Amino acid sequence: IQRQEPNLPSTDQRSTAEHEEVTVFSGSSAADASHARRLWSSASLPPPLELRPAAADVRQRLPVSRPRRSGPAAAPGAAERPQSAAAVRRRQEERRRYEEAAVRRSQILDLLRRQRERRMQKEVQVWRERRSSPREEEEEEEELVRQLQ
């Protein structure tokens, strides 16, 4: 298979088909040439995504959220409409539950703190006993040695 530039007679035709190439199948059977032509004509690849126009993938883009307005301009009716009694009760109940949970949490933290202090005191006592017990043992040994002399 050889690729050759086409022989175009005029310059007008050359400018319109400037980069076209002609494929010449020399020494091939007619069936092979036909199959090769079909292959070459179907082998055109789509352009990479980077080179496609932006409008091609508009459906795949996520919608952009609009910026929220803050203050009284955000919801003009929000300040005017009164809250229902059920909503007020619900909020009060939720607040009470949060306060109870906070009290429970502080009680648990106090209990843990007291337990930690007790453990530390016990460790200090054990450490003191360990420090003093070798002295007592040494004194007892010295007394036994004196008795033997």
Q: pLDDT confidence of 58, banded at 50, 70, 90? A: low
Return all residues near 144 (Cβ < 8 A) that are at least 6 apart.
none
pLDDT at position 8 over 60? no
The angle at the Cα of 9, spanning 6 to 10, to the nearest 5 degrees, equals 115
pLDDT at position 105 over 50? yes
Domain span at residue 38 reads 2-43
| Model pLDDT for residues 82-97, shown as the tens digit of each residue | 789 999 999 999 999 9
* Percentage of the chain lying above the pLDDT 90 cut: 26
91 and 39 inside one domain: no
Q: Is residue 95 part of a domain?
A: yes
Q: Is residue 127 part of a domain?
A: yes
Number of domains the chain is built from: 2
Q: Is residue 50 part of a domain?
A: no
The angle at the Cα of 25, spanning 24 to 28, to the nearest 5 degrees, equals 165
Return all residues near 36 (Cβ < 8 A) that are at least 6 apart.
1, 23, 25, 28
- What pLDDT does 14 receive? 47
Tokens 């003093």 correspond to what residue?
132
